[in-house]
Amino acid sequence: MLAEQAQLPANESDLRHKAQRDIFHRRFSAEPHAVRGALRASVARFARQISQEEAGALELVLAEVLNNIVEHSYAGGSEGVISLSIVRDLSGLSCAISDDGVPLPEGCLTPPNLPEIAVATAQLPEGGFGWYLIHDLTQDLGYRREDKQNLLAFRLPIGAPQNC
Amino acid sequence: MKLTAEASGGALVVSLGEARLDAAIAIQFKDRMREMLLQPSPRVVLDLSGVGFLDSSGLGAIVSVMKGLGPERKLELRGLTPNVEKVFRLTRMDSVFSIQPQAHQSGLRDAG
Model pLDDT for residues B41-92, shown as the tens digit of each residue? 889 999 999 999 999 999 999 999 999 998 888 899 999 999 999 999 999 9
Query: pLDDT value at position A20?
Result: 64
Q: Torsions phi, psi of B105, nearest 5?
A: -95, 80
pLDDT confidence band for A76 (50 / 70 / 90): low
Query: pLDDT value at position B107?
Result: 45
Contacting residues for B88 by C-beta, under 8 A, at least 6 apart: B59, B77, B80, B94, B97, B99
Residue B83 vs residues A102, B4, B50: alpha-carbon distances, Å? 31, 22, 12
- How far does B65 lie from chain A, in Å, by closest CA? 10
Within-domain flag for A1: no
Within-domain flag for A102: yes
Cβ contacts of B56 on chain A, cutoff 8 Å: 64, 67, 127, 129-130, 133
Minimum Cα–Cα distance from A33: chain B residue: B24
pLDDT exceeding 70 applies to what percent of chain B? 91
Cβ within 8 Å, pair B24-A63: no
Report yes or no: B43 and B10 within 8 Å, Cβ to Cβ.
yes
Q: Which of B57, B67, B80, B96 to mutate to test the interface with A (most CBs of A within 10 A)?
A: B57
Query: pLDDT value at position A78?
Result: 65
Within-domain flag for A16: no
Q: Which of A42, A54, A126 to mutate to test the interface with B (most CBs of B within 10 A)?
A: A126
Within-domain flag for A13: no
CATH 3.30.750.24 fits B3-99, yes or no: yes
Within-domain flag for A11: no
The overall average pLDDT reported for chain B is 90
Coil, strand or helix: which one is A120? coil
CATH number for A54: 3.30.565.10
Alpha carbon distance B34, B3 (integer Å): 12
**ipTM of this complex:** 0.87
Average pLDDT over every residue of A45-69: 96
Average pLDDT over every residue of A121-140: 94
pLDDT score of B23 more than 90? yes
> How many structural domains comprise chain A?
1
Structural domain of A106: 24-157
